[in-house]
Structure 1
């Protein structure tokens, strides 16, 4: 089952995010086969990170919660309360999206 996981950063955690990022990426890499997509959310400037959005395959919500409880940004206090929903992908993935300008 695919879960959409919205994780907004707590205010004032930008430096902490940068510090913990290598551990966060290594933790995500351990679950690469489960990932439909993942990446940072940014402000309108496209540079200031405000959170993360992931779509990942887990057998249950309890499995998502367990995985997330060990996620480095969660453990360090970067994220506020997560928003998690089952996601039904009704549109085919596009390779190379967005198209080059």
Structure 2
């Protein structure tokens, strides 16, 4: 069951994001079987990230919540807000899945 997790960084926390980034990437590597896609949301000039988007394959909302709660970014207190919702895969890589 796909879920979308959108994260919003606390303002002014770019240095914290960079400090924890390697641990975050290592964490994602250990859960890559659940990741349909994920990545940072960037400023228009591409210079700074201020949150992220994760498309994850989890059976329940609670599993999706646990996945983001255990992320080093979350553990470090980077996020101001996290939104989790079920997601329907319609198109992926130019292929319709409906």
Counting only pairs closer than 5 Å after superposition, residues 73-84 of structure 1 correspond to structure 2 as 73-84=73-84
> Normalising by the residue count of structure 1, what TM-score does the alignment of the two structures yield?
0.88
Q: Shift of residue 14 of structure 1?
A: 0.5
Tell me which residue corresponds to 1:48.
Answer: 48
Give the Cα separation in 1 of the matches to 2:26 and 2:41: 19
Q: Shift of residue 50 of structure 1?
A: 1.1
> Normalising by the residue count of structure 2, what TM-score does the alignment of the two structures yield?
0.90
**What number of residue pairs does the alignment pair up?**
95
Q: Shift of residue 92 of structure 1?
A: 3.1
Give the Cα separation in 2 of the matches to 1:66 and 1:53: 16
Is 1:9 matched up with 2:6?
no
Tell me which residue corresponds to 1:99.
Answer: none
When the two chains are superposed, the root-mean-square deviation of aligned CA atoms in Å is 1.4
Q: Map Cα deviations across residues 4-62 of structure 1 (whole Å, 9 max, x no partner).
A: 11001101111010000000000011111111111110111122111111101001001
